[in-house]
Amino acid sequence: MQTPFTILHTEASPGWGGQEHRILAEMTALRARGHRLLLAARPDSGILPRAEHAGFTVFPLPFRHRFELASRSGLRAVIRREGVAVVNAHSAIDGWIAALATRMPGTGLGRVAVVRTRHLSIAVGRDPCTRWVYGRGCDAVVTTGEALRQRLIDHNRMDGRRIASVPTGVDLSRFDPAQNDTRALRASLRPLCPDLADDEPLVGTVAMLRHMKGHHVLVEAMPAILQVHPKLRFVFIGEIPHGQSPIRDRILARAAELGVANRLILAGYRDDIPAVLAGLAAVVLPSIKDEGVPQGLTQALAMARPCVSTTVGAIGEVVRDGDTGWLIPPGDAPALAAAVAAIFSDPGEARRRAGNGQALIRRAYSTEAMADGMERVFSRAIAARRNATALDLATGAGS
């Protein structure tokens, strides 16, 4: 049995999206294994109150910029007072602050391990400062997909023995089609769309309304899809990030220009995602950049939903074209239209791919698999730091 240790997660992002969901899910899974989990985040962040509500000890820190002294000294105080064994940093600002707080001479925190988790496929710089923060500034790097790990090795010349791919796990007890009512979503959408009929299949995108998620590409594909399957309704489920409401306006305006506004429903933020997915006939994530392995896709696959997505980041590790879904180039509206239309033109093939996708998630992408991977990274990083030995994440079970 793994010896329990104290893990401090840090997050400088103010938002509440997939990255923050991953942090909270990881904390919950490792707490269930007996570890002590803490969180340091901005006081105005989406994750801080949710973590506190879930019973975690939280520490508000400003995290305004990477050289901020108040956050650095505050983080050091938390590490010392709480007996933290490992810090898991999730964004650029808190990654820098964690590195400087523990690695600068005279801190007395040389035995504290630092892990940097990379959630997206955004390129990491190759300048000397960035090399330091990903080198001496941390003990290990975690990515949410193997493609992201390989990019760090190939593009940044990082030592692969210090990098582990640990995808975000799915809570299979919640994301179980047998446990969710397929009618609940449709009933909840009727106030937004009173003429929504029972025989109109719902095609959904479950993601924050950000440009990178490619909602606009699906809007461009809608006329061609509706020519073949005119009864489809398209539903965008997701929060509009602060300051990005023009994206919503542009989507609605373009849908009106194309004559498909009456087939599009913008449902906003929902926290009942298992019920949402149960009510969808298909899930589309037309991302154009910066993805890891999106949770909206792994959750949809766990619910045996037919999925269409793009060759961005590590998406292809779960949506495997011809096997677990349909995979197209990013930004290709005609290809997207053809893939979505194929789901409803050949329901048997759609069921086959969806079943394969569900089997893949149950086999390799559960919450337990994520907890196993992170526990292994943390324990090896702590041991290497305390024993002044080289870290090797590439050997042993789960590598």
Q: Sign of torsion, CA 131 134 139 143? A: negative
Inter-CA distances, 279 with 77, 233, 332, Å = 48, 12, 26
The answer to the question of residue 1 being in a domain is: no
Read off the CATH number of the domain in which 164 is found: 3.40.50.2000
In this structure, the answer to whether residues 134 and 281 fall within a common structural domain is no
User: Range of 278's domain?
Assistant: 177-364
Longest dimension (CA), the chain: 68
Q: Indicate whether this model's pTM tops 0.85.
A: yes
In this structure, the answer to whether residues 210 and 321 fall within a common structural domain is yes
The answer to the question of residue 396 being in a domain is: no
Mean pLDDT in residue range 197-218: 96
In this structure, the answer to whether residues 23 and 147 fall within a common structural domain is yes
The answer to the question of residue 284 being in a domain is: yes
In this structure, the answer to whether residues 31 and 147 fall within a common structural domain is yes
The answer to the question of residue 323 being in a domain is: yes
In this structure, the answer to whether residues 352 and 222 fall within a common structural domain is yes
What single DSSP character describes residue 134? Answer: H
**pLDDT band at residue 1 under the 50/70/90 scheme:** low
Taking each helix axis as running N to C, give the angle between helix 333-345 and helix 215-228, from 0 to 180 degrees, rounded to the nearest 10: 50
In this structure, the answer to whether residues 360 and 371 fall within a common structural domain is no
In this structure, the answer to whether residues 113 and 233 fall within a common structural domain is no
In this structure, the answer to whether residues 198 and 237 fall within a common structural domain is yes
In this structure, the answer to whether residues 42 and 184 fall within a common structural domain is no
The answer to the question of residue 395 being in a domain is: no
Inter-CA distances, 359 with 90, 298, 320, 352, 354, Å = 29, 11, 13, 11, 9
Q: How far is CA 266 from the centre of its chain?
A: 21
Give the integer Cα–Cα distance in Å for 225 and 341: 6
The answer to the question of residue 398 being in a domain is: no
The answer to the question of residue 352 being in a domain is: yes
DSSP for 305-332, written as a single string = --EEEESSTTGGGTS-BTTTBEEE-TT-
Provide the domain count of the chain. 2
Q: Is the pLDDT of residue 399 over 60?
A: no
Side chain identity, residue 307? C
In this structure, the answer to whether residues 342 and 371 fall within a common structural domain is no
The model's pLDDT over 122-148, given as tens digits with 9 standing for 90+, comes to 989 999 999 999 999 999 999 999 999
In this structure, the answer to whether residues 162 and 200 fall within a common structural domain is no
Q: Is the pLDDT of residue 256 over 70?
A: yes
**pLDDT band at residue 397 under the 50/70/90 scheme:** very low
The answer to the question of residue 335 being in a domain is: yes
Tokens of 187: 């009933």
142: Cβ–Cβ under 8 A, 6 or more apart, which residues? 88, 115, 116, 117, 118, 163, 164, 165, 166, 374, 377
The model's pLDDT over 56-102, given as tens digits with 9 standing for 90+, comes to 999 999 999 999 999 999 999 999 999 999 999 999 999 999 999 99
In this structure, the answer to whether residues 275 and 208 fall within a common structural domain is yes
**pLDDT band at residue 398 under the 50/70/90 scheme:** very low
Give the integer Cα–Cα distance in Å for 203 and 224: 14
